[in-house]
């Protein structure tokens, strides 16, 4: 009886994906126990909620998800407009929307809704993809990105742009256009510099030379690279990282938690972590390759690449090769909303995986 219930419960879940998620969550809990032990209970609650969400979504067939694409996207856009008009201002940027019962960042919703929408759009026009369809896709992509840019939240805007762009890319955007866009971006970079907010420019400058303001804006990067570098090959040992334990690392349970992990577990720990992430992303890409429909392929591929983007941007930022943009490390950083969004993505991956092509070539 219990066995059948359990079987029913885990039936829609993907074994390899679950194993990798479990391992990464374990790494995250170990790092969290060192960085902020008082928050462990909260993290476990977040994981619990996120697992329920994932299980529910995994049960939903991709066809139903497709039906949700347009409404979710439109809801997301409406909420972003609402934020622009009535949102709370926190830390100088309008990102939060208080709806009384729920308080959250609509941009978080968009991280799933945008790729969903684009995957649905390309599925609809699967038979006939011309420049007009790509232009429409670009419009679908740019509306939320511009709204988020205005908040201003460059980091999230870039991530959401990436999420949508992955779909368009996988949908078969001709390489010529990709090359042209890359060239255009390179040319536009100096002009974009002038459009950046002052604090955004500071972050980029800090990356180039963090020592120019060691106690101010460069502090985060300096302290996190010191933490990583002083960790050495084997690390200082769990709970033994002086940078972390003596409070030199800022944001050490959120965006900079990797520095805590890296200081205490060293290059070896980093390598294990990278392998786990690579396997997780690889599993996502494999699910994409095996998906039955274009919608499933595009969505799964985009989700896997979004996961990669988060990991790469966060690790790059904490180790000082990318500017500080405020991206959490998936499965490890503290943060309820981000965790739920992430598991929503895993749920979709599993849903797509259940409907994979039965005929293999």
Partner 1 sequence: MQLRDPQDGLASFNRRIAIAGAFVLICFALLLGRFVWLQVIQHDYYETRAEDNRIALAPIAPNRGLILDRNGVVLARNDSAYTLEITPAQVEDLDATIDGLAELITIEGRDRRRFNKLMEEGKRFESLPIRARLTDAEVARFVAQRYRFPGVEIRARLFRQYPHGAFAAHALGYIGRITDGDLRRIEAWGEEANYRGADHFGKAGLERHYERELHGISGHEKVEVTAGGRVVRSLARVAPVPGNTLTLTLDAKLQEVAERAFGDRRGALVAIEPATGGVLALVSMPNYDPNLFVDGIGAADWEALNNSPDKPMVNRALNGTYPPGSTFKPFMALAALALGKRTPEQEIADPGYFSFGGRLFMDNKKGGHGMVNLHKSMVHSCNTYYYMLADDMGIENIAGFMDQFGFGRRTGIDIEGEAAGVLPSPAWKKKRFRTPEQQKWYAGETISVGIGQGYNAYTPIQLAQATAILANDGVIFRPHLVRYVTDARTGRRRLIEPEPLARLSLRQEHIDAVKKSMVGAVHEGTGARVFKDAGYVAAGKTGTAQVFSLRGAQYRKERIRQDLRDHSLFIAFAPADAPQIALAVLVENGGFGARAAAPIARQVLDYYLLGKLPEGAAPADEGAVESDLEEAP
Calculate the alpha carbon distances from 302 to 128, 138, 299 in Å. 21, 15, 5
Q: Which stretch binds partner 1 (CB under 8 A): 6-14, 122-130, 137-145, 199-207?
A: 122-130
Q: Considering only CA atoms, which of 346, 354, 338 is closest in space to residue 109?
A: 338
Backbone CA torsion sign across 271, 273, 275, 278: negative
If the CB atoms of residues 96 and 312 are measured against partner 1, the closer one turns out to be: 312
Q: Which stretch binds partner 1 (CB under 8 A): 44-52, 96-104, 144-152, 318-326?
A: 318-326
| The only residue of 2, 246, 358, 359 in contact with partner 1, by rule CB under 8 A | 246
DSSP annotation of 128: -
Token pair, residue 316, equals: 């790059």
Beta bridge partners of 93: 90
DSSP of 2-20: HHHHHHHHHTTS-HHHHHH
DSSP annotation of 37: G
Token pair, residue 215, equals: 């106690």
Least distance in angstroms from the C-beta of 322 to partner 1: 10
| The only residue of 248, 261, 334, 346 in contact with partner 1, by rule CB under 8 A | 248
Asked whether the beta carbons of 286 and 13 are under 8 A apart, the reply is: no
How many residues sit in the footprint of partner 1 (CB under 8 A)?
Answer: 48
Q: Is 176 exposed, middle or buried (0-12, 13-18, 19+ CB in 10 A)?
A: exposed
Q: Does residue 170 touch partner 1 according to CB under 8 A?
A: yes
Q: Which stretch binds partner 1 (CB under 8 A): 9-17, 48-56, 84-92, 262-270?
A: 262-270
Q: Which stretch binds partner 1 (CB under 8 A): 2-10, 102-110, 120-128, 154-162?
A: 120-128
**Span 12-71, contacts to partner 1 by CB under 8 A:** none
| The only residue of 226, 336, 337, 355 in contact with partner 1, by rule CB under 8 A | 226
Q: Considering only CA atoms, which of 31, 62, 55 is closest in space to residue 262?
A: 31
Asked whether the beta carbons of 113 and 72 are under 8 A apart, the reply is: yes
Q: Does residue 231 touch partner 1 according to CB under 8 A?
A: yes
Q: Which helix (H) or strand (E) holds 96?
A: strand 93-98
Q: Does residue 199 touch partner 1 according to CB under 8 A?
A: no
Q: Does residue 297 touch partner 1 according to CB under 8 A?
A: yes
| The only residue of 227, 340, 348, 350 in contact with partner 1, by rule CB under 8 A | 227
How many residues does this entry show for the chain?
A: 361
* Rounded CA Rg of the chain: 21
| The only residue of 16, 152, 282, 335 in contact with partner 1, by rule CB under 8 A | 282
DSSP annotation of 10: H
Q: Does residue 127 touch partner 1 according to CB under 8 A?
A: yes
Least distance in angstroms from the C-beta of 249 to partner 1: 8
Cα 323 to chain centroid distance, Å, stands at 16
Q: Does residue 242 touch partner 1 according to CB under 8 A?
A: yes
User: What is the binding site for partner 1 (CB under 8 A)?
Assistant: 126-129, 166, 169-170, 172, 223, 225-233, 242-243, 246-248, 262, 266-267, 270-271, 274, 277-278, 281-282, 285, 288-289, 294, 297, 301, 304-305, 308, 312, 315-316, 319-321
């Amino acid at each position: 009886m219990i066995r059948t219930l359990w079987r029913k419960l885990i039936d829609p879940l993907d074994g390899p994906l679950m194993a990798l998620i479990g391992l990464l969550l374990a790494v995250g809990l170990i790092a969290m126990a060192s960085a902020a032990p008082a928050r462990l209970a909260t993290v476990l609650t977040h994981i619990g909620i996120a697992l329920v969400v994932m299980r529910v979504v995994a049960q939903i067939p991709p066809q139903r998800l497709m039906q949700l694409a347009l409404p979710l996207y439109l809801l997301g856009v409406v909420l972003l407009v609402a934020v622009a008009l009535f949102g709370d201002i926190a830390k100088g940027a309008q990102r939060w929307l208080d709806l009384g019962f729920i308080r959250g960042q609509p941009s978080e919703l968009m991280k799933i809704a945008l790729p969903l929408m684009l995957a649905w759009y390309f599925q609809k026009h699967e038979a006939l993809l011309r420049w007009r369809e790509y232009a429409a896709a670009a419009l679908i992509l740019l509306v939320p990105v511009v709204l988020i840019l205005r908040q201003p939240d460059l980091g999230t805007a870039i991530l959401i742009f990436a999420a949508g762009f992955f779909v368009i890319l996988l949908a078969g955007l001709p390489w010529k256009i990709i090359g042209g866009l890359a060239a255009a971006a390179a040319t536009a970079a100096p002009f974009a510099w002038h459009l950046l907010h002052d604090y955004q420019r500071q972050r980029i400058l800090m990356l180039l030379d963090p020592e120019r303001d060691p106690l101010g804006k460069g502090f985060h990067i300096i302290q996190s690279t010191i933490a990583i570098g002083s960790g050495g090959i084997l690390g200082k040992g769990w709970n033994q990282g002086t940078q972390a334990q003596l409070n030199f690392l800022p944001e050490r349970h959120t965006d900079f938690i990797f520095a805590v992990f890296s200081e205490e577990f060293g290059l070896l720990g980093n390598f294990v972590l990278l392998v786990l992430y690579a396997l997780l992303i690889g599993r996502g890409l494999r699910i994409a390759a095996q998906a039955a429909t274009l919608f499933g392929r595009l969505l799964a591929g985009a989700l896997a690449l979004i996961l990669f983007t988060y990991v790469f941007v966060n690790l790059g930022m904490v180790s000082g090769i990318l500017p500080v943009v405020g991206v959490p490390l998936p499965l490890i950083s503290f943060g309820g909303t981000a965790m739920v969004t992430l598991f929503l993505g895993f749920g979709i991956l599993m849903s797509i995986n259940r409907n994979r092509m039965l005929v293999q070539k």
